[in-house]
Amino acid sequence: MNYEILSAFAFATAALAFTPGPDNIYVLTQGVVNGRKYGLATTAGLISGCLVHTTLLAFGVSLIIKESESLFFAIKLLGAIYLLYLAYKVYKEGDVINLNSSALPKRSLWQLFRQGFIMNVLNPKVTIFFLAFFPAFLFSKTMSTVWQFYILGFLFMLVSLIIFSAIAIMAGSISSYLRSHKSVGKWLKWVQILVFVGIAAFLLISDN
């Protein structure tokens, strides 16, 4: 088991979780509008949905690996291209982080959990992102690829849960800081671009 690869995966996941995206901005706005426990409920739903995508990835890609190494390389290549495309999209977007929460309706904790779960499960971009992200970080030559994908999935969920929960708990302070420090958005934008490009490069050079 290569712990350096697992550490790199955890670091990349943390960097992605910190940088602004639809999920953590949604958690942040729920925390600001409704309170920290509502942000936490949203977080729990979003993270739970990742288990579905991990299962699809684990069994689908594992079968492909068994059938053809060249096909698996093609998947990694397409994954790298997709990650570079995501980096380009972030580059083209503005630096301002939108924290407009006026349109968020009041919901119960269960409704927010369920909504977060459904948002995640029904988002095909999450499956595509997992497909692009995970294969570069297979960390063992002897362990089943199914188990490796599940370990990566649970590690992804754990790191994201910690960071998203911190965002929900500190929603008010984070929101005030981002509104008063407009330049932060620019730095976070470039962090996200570097993470996407770095993962794409790692995907191409990895020998999994």
pLDDT over 70 at 103, yes or no:
no
Q: Token match 């988002």: residue?
A: 123
- Residue 39, pLDDT > 60, answer yes
**What does the pLDDT read at residue 105?**
61
**Per-residue pLDDT at 75 exceeds 90:** no
DSSP state of 94: -
Q: Judge whether residue 99 has pLDDT over 60.
A: no
pLDDT in tens, 167-182: 999 887 877 776 677 6
- What local confidence, expressed as pLDDT, does residue 40 receive? 94
Query: In this structure, what DSSP letter does residue 21 have?
Result: -
Query: Domain of 41?
Result: 3-205
State residue 14's pLDDT score.
Answer: 93
What's the mean per-residue pLDDT of the chain? 83
Confidence of residue 196 (pLDDT cuts 50, 70, 90): confident
* Contact partners, residue 78, CB within 8 Å, separation at least 6: 132
Q: What is the pLDDT of residue 123?
A: 80
pLDDT value for 19: 79
Q: How many domains does the chain have?
A: 1
Q: Which residues contact 111 (CB under 8 A, 6 or more apart)?
A: none
pLDDT for 98: 58
For range 58-73, the mean pLDDT: 76
> What confidence score (pLDDT) does residue 106 get?
67
Band (pLDDT 50/70/90 cuts) for residue 52 is: very high
What does the alpha-carbon distance between residue 66 and residue 37 come to, in Å, rounded to a whole number? 44
Are 163 and 21 a contacting pair, CB within 8 Å?
Answer: no
91 against 183, higher pLDDT: 91
8-30 tens-digit pLDDT: 999 999 988 887 777 888 888 88
